[in-house]
Amino acid sequence: MTLPPAIETTEMPKTKYNRVMLKISGEALMGDQGFGLHPPTVQRIAQEVKSVHDLGVEICMVIGGGNIFRGLSGSAQGMERTTADYMGMLATVMNALAMQSALEGVGVFTRVISAIRMDEVCEPYIRRRAVRHLEKKRVCIFAAGTGNPYFTTDTAATLRANEMACEAIFMGKNGVDGVYDKDPKTHDDAVRYKTVSYDDVLAKRLRVMDASAIALARDNNLPLIVFGLDEPGGFRGILAGEGTYTKVQG
């Protein structure tokens, strides 16, 4: 009797994370342009997120607004700080909507959740509702920062990651694949840390997140994983235990 041929199965890579926060800057969405949104770049990042979502990982996102407007720079040019920060928050909503469109274009159900009410374009932030979206395997993009001036999207990402019980924050960087002791773009002898403590990040003023975000992560023992966003497959690879990155932990 001839046996039927064996059926080959592709085993999904295992990941130790079930729910994560992905924090990226607004500048990550502008590609080689000096301003605004670069649709092919937005699509590429959406594919990266989808590849991780396909592993069954629940994903939160926070996207900065620096490609459109940065409150701190607006304030430095003479604009009143609170007004400038609110303008920056609105820029993050625009980026979140662009990412939502790209993700849903590749078949990933997504919710944009804003800290500032704008019911016609996105949901208001309600923690229990957001948790339910994650449980239903929808990607939640948190926009408008914390809803308060004087706080960065780094702080917003750390705050939402704690509220959503995320197991880690993944910081996607452009042009660097981790945390270095000095700027690798200008110093050939820069050394990448494999792991570094929260306190060392603060004491050595390593440019990972702002101090309030690092302190919030440290106080809640929330690890940060810094990796290169411009490396294709990097996000999925690191979740599977591969690739190059720096882990910030206690």
pLDDT tens profile 120-161: 999 999 999 999 999 999 999 999 999 999 999 999 999 999
Summarize pLDDT for 164-193 with one digit per residue, the tens. Answer: 999 999 999 888 889 999 888 888 899 999
Domain 19-249 sits in CATH 3.40.50.300: no
Cα–Cα distance measured from residue 168 to residue 24, given in angstroms and rounded to the nearest whole number: 14
What are φ and ψ of residue 185, in 5° steps? -75, -25
Cβ-based burial of 245 (10 A; exposed 0-12, middle 13-18, buried ≥19): buried
Q: Positive or negative, the Cα torsion across 94, 70, 25, 159?
A: negative
- Once rounded to an integer, what is the mean pLDDT over residues 25-44? 91
Rounded to two decimals, the pTM is 0.90
Interval 64-109: pLDDT, tens:
999 998 767 777 778 899 999 999 999 999 999 999 999 999 999 9
Whole-number pLDDT of residue 194: 94
Over residues 227-238, mean pLDDT = 88
pLDDT at site 167: 97
